[in-house]
Amino acid sequence: MTSPHEDRLGEIITATRHLFLDFDGPICSIFAGLKPQSIADSLRDLIISHGITLPPDIEATSDPFDVFIHAASVSPDLGAEVEVAMTNLEVSAVPTAEPTPGVHAVITSCRGSGRTLTVVSNNSDRAVRTYLTRHALDGQISTVIARTSPDPDLLKPCPHFLQQAITASKADPGTCTLVGDQPTDIDAAHQAGTHSIGYANKPGKAEALANADAGAIITSLAPLALALRARPLPN
């Protein structure tokens, strides 16, 4: 007998013609070697070098995106400068990034089932493409939709990137599914009208993804690869 989560996963994959993968989490741990705290510290130092005092929450955060969003709120020019610095740091993190177990099986199964595969990420386009090239995945991914702008309002949970992915796939939203490991991914999927699969790769994430109303939740990529292989699209 299958579990409710497995049933929902199967139903979603049956409806899916275009699979969208978030980058950091479902594809790799981009900051496995260069920790987010170090990147946040570097971005803070850049802001402080302009004589700007940071609020306590930005002083304390280990999330580089929090620092970037704050910089953009101070001024568009500062946001653009910090975004460039964050992109360079993301690219420098690629050599020590760790592939997510099972991701190559998902990619192979997705392509073998007749579906398209697109990366949809808040990380920089340059970092994503650098990683895919380094791991010989650039020829297997249909499209990359990732950060190219210093405007943080375009980042997930905004559906902007997903809407771009839907357009690039020439698809109906109901035939698309996003796999993401954050509630913001699920929120973006809801707003864009796509299906969603929550990837709970760390303790506590399953509850957060369930609270965000993920269509299905997986704790490893193996069930996703199996579901894709078991449900090829008709020729």
In this structure, the dihedral spanned by the alpha carbons of residues 136, 17, 181 and 160, taken in order and rounded to 10 degrees, is 100
DSSP β-bridge partners for residue 19: 117, 177
User: Which residue carries 């070098």 as its tokens?
Assistant: 49
Least confidently predicted of 122-131, 133-142, 188-197: 133-142
Give me the number of domains the chain comprises.
Answer: 2
175 occurs within a structural domain: yes
* pLDDT band for position 39 (cuts 50, 70, 90): very high
Residue 203 burial class via C-beta count within 10 angstroms: exposed 0-12, middle 13-18, buried 19 and up: exposed
Tell me the whole-structure pTM to 2 decimals.
0.95
The domain of 88 spans 36-96
* pLDDT band for position 6 (cuts 50, 70, 90): low
**Residues 123, 168 share a domain:** yes
235 occurs within a structural domain: no
pLDDT of the residue at 132: 98
Domain of 165: which CATH number?
3.40.50.1000
Mean pLDDT within 79-83:
98
**Residues 194, 145 share a domain:** yes
pLDDT of the residue at 235: 74
**Residues 183, 88 share a domain:** no
From 61, 96, 131, the end of a domain falls on 96
**Residues 82, 126 share a domain:** no
Q: How far apart are CA 179 and CA 217, in angstroms?
A: 9
pLDDT of 2 above 90: no
Mean pLDDT within 195-199:
98
139 occurs within a structural domain: yes
pLDDT of the residue at 61: 98
